[in-house]
Structure 1
């Protein structure tokens, strides 16, 4: 219960934009097609439903609502995380969404929307883990391995907040997708995965006790959609995000995906 309150507190704290008066004030994009790319590997933000095979999640619901309010048609495509930012920068796609942390170095390649969510990093471990309970004790547990995708916030948090600042530290095992890091955790190939609280909660809820979160938050991060530099879509999308915060739509999505929805049910 405490963790749920912490998640909601982090999400509700993100009332950072000037509030749009109502949806009628929003730009009309005339039904144009906008290509949006995602990875489908970061539940509950975006993933493939194991039962239906459909692409679902918080970001799909949010983007579909933005498209409705701005009058554009979404064409979804998929790519890997390590290719996404460069691909959007190269104008292969018009918007990217996959829980992308807003960072200054990334702003050199792409434009970001205003933040639509704030999240915190937590340690995801197996349900029977007792050898460490937080970042400090994990660092002291010299045999402990952490799984991460290179170039992601969890990777840099592991390197600089938990371990010794060496990006080549052999205690970090690299994987192509976030889902692969969780699978490696389940099979015992690594001992911890760092994740924001939203995704972590989804995996814990689906694990039937096989996974748990330990320790306190390891720092906060703001998520935004990405666009090619100079994109004319940034301002309309920002206006739609502001309107969705003002009328409670963002809060409704948070409740749907972070409290009511159970992965795999």
Structure 2
């Protein structure tokens, strides 16, 4: 669950450790293979470029740089969000990435890296929406629907922060991917989707007035990579995350993928 899936008005990579001497201290994993799994369904963190067919995004760039600095070879695999946490817990993959929110209940199944990103959720709506302007007024419109992926942070925020705390509330319409929720919003099948502010701004900027963000932030979350419990990769990856933050690499990736990127869906 991702985030899962939600993310940030002032999206910023977190400050993790001091800079001095980190590069020299990074472990050498001696070219070992590390299998990284993702969903490729949450732009701009990870997605398939419709023009090139290549899987790209913030997390791909980050993992590729971590692999370079730690000297390991990455093999990327793809799976659904629903299967990811259990598959990593079972050791089918070494690392999972897909904007996964660090939560205590998930820590019972997997280990998390240190946070690499912080995000806030906002309500994305159609540009001509006038019935509501925030979570409270949305809840008062009894036939208004919210689209979400089951088990994700936006799903739980919709249930507990926007609606009445009932996860079975029929006003939450479920979809398999985040992109499908946005498409349903555009076609009028749902009336709002929760997303991070920066990614949401990308959708708004590319919509020619068809979409807008309303209301204030509905919650803050930290994202981390996931590993099988007890994985020997956690400490090296944490050291690399700290180094990438310290030398400005994470900030540069955020600018590349969030500040400069315009969502195309």
Q: TM above 0.5, one fold? A: yes
User: How much has 1:19 moved relative to structure 2?
Assistant: 4.2
Give 1:20 shift.
Answer: 5.8
Provide the C-alpha distance between the structure 1 equivalents of 2:236 and 2:191, rounded to a whole number of angstroms.
Answer: 43
SS across alignment from 1:122: strand
After TM superposition, the structure 1 = structure 2 runs for residues 22-61 of structure 1, keeping only pairs within 5 Å, are: 22-61=22-61
More displaced stretch, 239-248 vs 196-205: 196-205
CA RMSD, 1 decimal? 1.5
> Residue 3 of structure 1 corresponds to which residue in structure 2?
none
Residue 111 of structure 2 corresponds to 111
CA separation in 2, counterparts of 1:128 and 1:20? Answer: 51
Q: Return the alpha-carbon distance in structure 2 between the equivalents of residues 121 and 19 of structure 1.
A: 30
Residue 63 of structure 2 corresponds to which residue in structure 1? Answer: 63
2:145 — aligned with what?
A: 145
Where structure 1 has 5 or more consecutive residues not aligned to the other structure, the ranges are: 1-5
1:135 and 2:118 correspond: no
Residue 3 (structure 2) aligns with: none
Deviation at 1:205, TM superposition (A): 2.9
Distance 1:72 1:49, change over 3 A: same
The whole-number CA distance in structure 2 between the counterparts of 1:179 and 1:56 is 16
**TM-score w.r.t. structure 1 length?**
0.94
Q: Which has the higher helix share?
A: 1
The DSSP-based 3-state class of the residue aligned with 2:250 is: helix
Q: How far is the alpha carbon of 1:211 from its aligned partner?
A: 1.5
**What are the within-5 Å matches in structure 2 for residues 164-175 of structure 1?**
164-175=164-175
Quick one: higher RCO (CA 8 Å, sep 6+), 1 or 2?
2
Q: Tell whether the 8 Å contact from 1:43 to 1:202 is kept in structure 2 after alignment.
A: no
- Give me the whole-angstrom Cα distance separating, in 1, the residues matched to 2:20 and 2:191: 45
Deviations 1:41-73 (A, max 9, x none): 111111111111111110011010000000011
The alignment status of 1:189 with 2:198, answered yes or no, reads: no
Unaligned runs of 5+ in 2: 1-7
Q: Which residues in structure 2 correspond to 1:226-241 (within 5 Å)?
A: 226-241=226-241
**Number of positions where the alignment pairs a residue of Structure 1 with one of Structure 2:** 258
- Cα deviation for residue 206 of structure 1 reads 2.8
